Structure 1
Amino acid sequence: MDEWSDKRGAYAIIVIIEGLFIIFPIARLEFNQWAPREWVGHLIIAGSF
């Protein structure tokens, strides 16, 4: 059981990281159209980590 939960945890982390790489560029494009510049700056800073 422990081995399976470890694999599931690692898989979840990979999925989250990949999701961020997919979501942040899309969010940046969306925010560039209507959000204040401060918001875009926060997204770019968050996306760079």
Structure 2
Amino acid sequence: MIEEKGILEFLAEDLGFGDVTTEALIPEEIKARAVILAKQAGS
């Protein structure tokens, strides 16, 4: 299980310059959508 601290660190690395890897590899005109499902509350 990923702890909240880990999630915050993952998000923080994209602040400032944005997600450099994604910007380099994915054309700006590409659209995406996602659904995130938790198997149980609090996970």
The two structures have a TM-score, normalised by structure 2, of 0.33
Which fold has the larger relative contact order, with Cα–Cα distance below 8 Å and residues 6 or more apart in sequence? 2
- Bigger helix fraction: 1
Q: Which has the larger radius of gyration?
A: 1
The two structures have a TM-score, normalised by structure 1, of 0.32
